[in-house]
A = this chain, B = another copy of it.
Amino acid sequence: MDDRTVRERIRRPELLARIQPAEQAARLFAPGMTVGMSGFTKAGDAKALPRALVERAREQPLDLTLITGASLGNDSDGMMANAGVVRRRLPFQADASLRRKINTGEVLFIDQHLSETAEQLRGGALPRIDIAVIEACAIREDGAIVPTMAVGNSASFVQGARQVIVELNLAAPASLEGLHDIYVPRPRPAREPIPLTHPGQRIGTTAIAIDPERIAAIVVTDSPDSPSSVLPPDAQTDAIAGHVIAFLEGEVAAGRMGPGLLPLQAGIGTIANAVLHGLTQSSFRDLTMYSEVLQDSAIALLESGQLALASASSITLSAPMHERFLANLDRYRDRIVLRPQEISNHPEIVRRLGIIGLNTALEFDIYGNVNSTHVGGTNMMNGIGGSGDFARNGELAIFVSKSEAKDGAISSVVPMVAHVDHTEHDVDVLVTEWGLADLRGLAPRERAPLVIERCAHPDYRAPLRDYYERALLRGGQTPHVLEEALSWHERYRTSKHMRAV
């Protein structure tokens, strides 16, 4: 480790004495503790302590309650789950090993709206954080912690934790300082309006304030974020992007928004990234993003000049884009703001700015209810993430999905979703590669034919029509043949195909 680099990064000299190996810092943890770790969609996560805790757990099971921003990188979630480090996990994850432990019940998973965790910690609905582990690219003269590629819940963890461990990551350039805007709402009843009225506005500080006495340990690392694993666009995601762009052009033509649209949010993952990437082929200019994650597509839009500025809580990029981004950081410095996820996803701001939320559905039903989380109604995929923060409170809630999965064995359009994450009250627009259904102002009986004819795969339209026609004979605001409503899922479970043979 380069001592001079470390001294430049830790600008409060007295703190240099708190540098210690991760193994030593791991001794601060005791079984059953509640731990807050930085990290949001594989960006800005602590790299050393998860591994040190896995080692530590060989001596003694830790059964921690682990709270993060969102998913961790570096296989940390999976390793910690497999080693018995974590017994309870919130508010989001995206790891295959952890997912298995969740679905067997070995790890208890609390699937939360990403805006709410900080509020629940502040209000005492969740236990107090014993130790916060926060990745930083620098510690300032006043002790304040400068985050790396994500802010997530780190500011709230630092505020509430009994002890704080800083992971100083030399692989994260010190030039990230200045990108962040740290604002944490005050406890009630002294809560004031959040003064943000524009996506790019700065309302806070560039680092997380802390009394330096509360920094219990500093662990130095030199390890990059895991690269994002989104797949490249394909014909289907191109088609979805085309439908979304045509719809947004129609909104502009109808005078419902200006040519720069309203601020965009795009969920994590391949499809949302591809749709956003499709905007580089559009005529839109002066776009803004007010999102939770920036993926490759956002940087591409910044590069093309179509995106004027972007606000988020994390930046998660592929390896080549990550390199390009850091090399050109000064070009983006005035056009990117990284905020706490409580602010990037805050109901107050989402409603005020009128966000266009673009999120991925696992499946949706003919009446517009969306399942974002549960495979077959029972098994957790990743979690609801911020989709609910944006869908409920934003101006437009658009959900995208490919019309089929598993080579046509699964239809993403079903009679009734087997788990509801977004209700018919919150869903405005549904899109698959076949088309787009604009549900605004429509009653359920008007939505069903539209969803079937516009969004379902042609192979599934006849059975969906048949279901809906028989449901109509039973009547109701939302007609269903209740004993068949979930039969497609049950058929897939037993025969691996949703269609009757």
Interface class of chain A by DSSP: loop
Check A384 against B425 for contact (C-beta < 8 Å).
yes
Check A255 against B124 for contact (C-beta < 8 Å).
yes
Check B476 against A425 for contact (C-beta < 8 Å).
no
The residues of B that contact A421 with a CB separation of less than 8 Å are 423, 425
Check B120 against A441 for contact (C-beta < 8 Å).
yes
* A381 to B, closest residue via Cβ: B477
* A126 to B, closest residue via Cβ: B441
Q: CB of A346 within 8 A of chain B?
A: yes
Check A476 against B103 for contact (C-beta < 8 Å).
yes
Number of copies: 2
Contact with B along A364-404 (1 / 0, CB 8 A): 00000100011011111000100010001101000000000
Give complex CA distance A369, B374 in Å: 14
Q: Which stretch in A45-53, A219-227, A303-311, A348-356 binds the other chain?
A: A348-356
Check A392 against B392 for contact (C-beta < 8 Å).
yes
Contact with B along A414-456 (1 / 0, CB 8 A): 0000111111111010000000000011110110000000000
Check A113 against B425 for contact (C-beta < 8 Å).
yes
Give complex CA distance A442, B475 in Å: 37
Check B442 against A110 for contact (C-beta < 8 Å).
yes
With A123-B256, A193-B197 as known contacts, state yes or no: A482 contacts B112, CB within 8 Å. no
Q: CB of A489 within 8 A of chain B?
A: yes
Check A474 against B378 for contact (C-beta < 8 Å).
yes
* A349 to B, closest residue via Cβ: B348
Check A486 against B485 for contact (C-beta < 8 Å).
yes
With A388-B392, A421-B425, A423-B420 as known contacts, state yes or no: A487 contacts B478, CB within 8 Å. no
**A window 115-138: CB within 8 A of B:** 119-120, 123-127
The residues of B that contact A189 with a CB separation of less than 8 Å are 198, 353
Q: CB of A331 within 8 A of chain B?
A: no
With A109-B443, A475-B378 as known contacts, state yes or no: A352 contacts B493, CB within 8 Å. no
Check A418 against B482 for contact (C-beta < 8 Å).
yes
Q: CB of A213 within 8 A of chain B?
A: no
Give complex CA distance A487, B485 in Å: 11
Q: CB of A104 within 8 A of chain B?
A: yes
- The minimal Cβ–Cβ distance linking A90 to chain B, given in whole angstroms, is 8
Q: CB of A111 within 8 A of chain B?
A: yes
The residues of B that contact A347 with a CB separation of less than 8 Å are 347-348, 350-351, 392-393
| A-B contacts, 8 listed (Cβ < 8 Å) | A109-B443, A111-B477, A120-B440, A193-B194, A193-B348, A348-B351, A379-B477, A388-B423
5 other A-B residue contacts (CB within 8 Å) besides A378-B480, A418-B482: A108-B443, A191-B197, A347-B347, A347-B351, A388-B392
Binding site for B on A (CB under 8 A): 88, 102-105, 108-113, 119-120, 123-127, 188-189, 191-195, 197-198, 254-256, 262, 346-348, 350-354, 369, 373-374, 376-380, 384, 388, 392-393, 395, 418-426, 428, 440-443, 445-446, 471-472, 474-480, 482-483, 485-487, 489-490, 493
